[in-house]
């Protein structure tokens, strides 16, 4: 691929430099690679030919991992772009960044436990549904350990910061389902391989935790429906059983919803809990059975910082 006559997009390079700061302290290999990509005309031209939403560092690196069988360094990535750029582009266009980190359940659990039981869960942007299984995992909060309903499921560790209302037991989940533009199937080996490719090199314990969560999900896979949260969420919510508190939540998907689209979503009243809490304040008003509670924006580093919202 020639770069003659085409200057790399400054915006793409800046995006990768910003991502390097995000990878710092988490994945030295991806931090180094991202900085290198930001200054590489060959790779920047390749990226600039893709739709803007498909130029994400996470997506590029996962697609390269998927095709190469190992996390890429700059030499391997340049070779892939030069020799098989068409296949790399097709993979990036067909796939999405669908990281499904089960440890996010450890930050969600205290909020779920505050709600009237039993619960009916809908996760938007559910990927393979691993964060729909909050009741099956066990938890270690340091000062308190909780046993989940599946004795073979992984134990998720979390260090609470501040006065987090740690529950005495896992919540009772009567019904659960997910919604995703491109659901992943935990029983499909290729989908599982994509999930594995989304794990960053150098992040200790994540690959093992993912594998254990996938085995848990395979014993009784949660349903994840194909659809758009802006158009398909309401019909799905109507399927929730009466007498259960309906909880609609996400862990990252609103980041990918265009601002103009988000403006058309149902009107919401939002409040933020202070840093160091995990939904420790009570809801704005006591939710009634079959009410709709939205708990989301789980802090990506899995510290117990959460934003909660109620449909009004």
| Tens-place pLDDT, residues 46-59 | 999 999 999 999 99
> Of 17-26, 46-55, 272-281, which gets the smallest average pLDDT?
272-281
Residue 116 and residue 260 in one domain:
yes
Query: Of 76, 94, 112, which marks where a domain is finished?
Result: 94
Tell me the mean pLDDT in the region 26-47: 97
Residue 108's Cβ-side half-sphere holds a number of Cα atoms within 13 Å equal to 29
4 within some domain = no
Query: Of 94, 117, 152, which marks where a domain is finished?
Result: 94
The answer on pLDDT for 114 being more than 90 is yes
3-state secondary structure of 138: strand
Closest CA to 281 of 265, 292, 270: 270
In the chain, the percentage of residues whose pLDDT exceeds 90 is 73
- The per-residue b/e assignment along 37-71, b for 16 or more CB within 10 angstroms, e otherwise, is bbebebbbbbbbebeeebbbbbbbbbbbbbbbeeb
Print the domain residue range for 141: 102-185+197-311
140 within some domain = yes
Residue 37 and residue 61 in one domain:
yes
Q: Report residue 109 as tokens.
A: 């659990």
Say how many domains are in the chain.
2
Residue 33 and residue 131 in one domain:
no
pTM of whole model > 0.75?
Answer: yes
Residue 30 and residue 143 in one domain:
no
Residue 257 and residue 144 in one domain:
yes
* 95 neighbors 62 (Cβ within 8 angstroms): yes
* 30 neighbors 61 (Cβ within 8 angstroms): yes
Residue 46 and residue 78 in one domain:
yes
Query: Of 71, 94, 117, which marks where a domain is finished?
Result: 94
| CA-to-CA separations, 230 to 11, 124, 218, 257, in angstroms, rounded | 28, 10, 29, 9
**Beta strands 292-296 and 307-311: pairing type?**
antiparallel
- The per-residue b/e assignment along 273-282, b for 16 or more CB within 10 angstroms, e otherwise, is beeebbbbee
Torsions phi, psi for 301 (to 5 deg): -90, 10
Residue 144 and residue 22 in one domain:
no
Residue 134 and residue 203 in one domain:
yes
* 295 neighbors 284 (Cβ within 8 angstroms): no
Residue 257 and residue 292 in one domain:
yes
- What is the structure's pLDDT at 302? 25
For 225-257, what is each residue's pLDDT tens digit?
999 988 999 999 999 999 999 999 998 777 666
Cα angle for residues 18, 91, 261 (degrees, 5° grid) = 60
2 within some domain = no
Residue 151's contacts (CB-CB under 8 Å, 6 or more residues apart) are: none
The answer on pLDDT for 24 being more than 80 is yes
178 within some domain = yes
3 within some domain = no
Residue 135 and residue 213 in one domain:
yes
CA distance 231 to 220: 28
Residue 36's contacts (CB-CB under 8 Å, 6 or more residues apart) are: 74
The answer on pLDDT for 204 being more than 70 is yes
Residue whose token pair is 């302290």: 25
- What is the structure's pLDDT at 259? 59
- 44 band by pLDDT with thresholds 50, 70 and 90: very high
Residue whose token pair is 């270690």: 140
């Amino acid at each position: 691929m020639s770069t003659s006559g085409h200057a790399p997009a400054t915006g793409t390079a800046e995006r990768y430099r910003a991502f390097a700061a995000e990878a710092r302290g988490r994945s030295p290999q991806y931090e180094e690679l991202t900085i290198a990509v930001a200054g590489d005309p060959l790779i920047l031209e390749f990226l600039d030919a893709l739709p803007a939403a498909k130029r994400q560092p996470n997506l590029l690196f996962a697609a390269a991992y998927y095709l190469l069988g190992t996390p890429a360094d700059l030499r391997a990535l340049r070779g892939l772009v030069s020799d098989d750029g068409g296949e790399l582009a097709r993979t990036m266009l067909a796939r999405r960044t669908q990281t499904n980190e089960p440890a996010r359940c450890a930050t969600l659990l205290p909020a779920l436990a505050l709600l009237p039981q039993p619960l009916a869960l809908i996760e938007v942007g559910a990927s393979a549904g691993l964060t729909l299984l909050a009741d099956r995992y066990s938890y270690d909060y340091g000062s308190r350990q909780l046993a989940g309903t599946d004795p073979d499921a992984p134990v998720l560790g979390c260090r609470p910061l501040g006065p987090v209302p740690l529950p005495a037991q896992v919540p009772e989940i009567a019904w659960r389902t997910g919604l995703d533009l491109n659901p992943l199937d935990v029983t499909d080996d290729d989908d599982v391989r994509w999930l594995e490719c989304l794990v960053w090199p150098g992040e200790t314990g994540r690959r093992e935790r993912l594998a254990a969560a996938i085995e848990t999900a395979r014993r009784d896979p949660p349903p994840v429906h194909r659809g758009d949260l802006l158009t398909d969420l309401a019909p799905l919510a109507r399927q929730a059983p009466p007498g259960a508190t309906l909880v609609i939540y996400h862990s990252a998907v609103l980041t990918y919803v265009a601002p103009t689209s988000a403006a058309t979503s149902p009107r919401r009243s939002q409040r933020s809990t202070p840093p160091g809490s995990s939904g420790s304040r009570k809801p704005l008003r006591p939710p009634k059975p079959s009410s709709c509670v939205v708990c989301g924006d789980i802090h990506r580093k899995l510290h117990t910082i959460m934003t909660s919202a109620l449909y009004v």
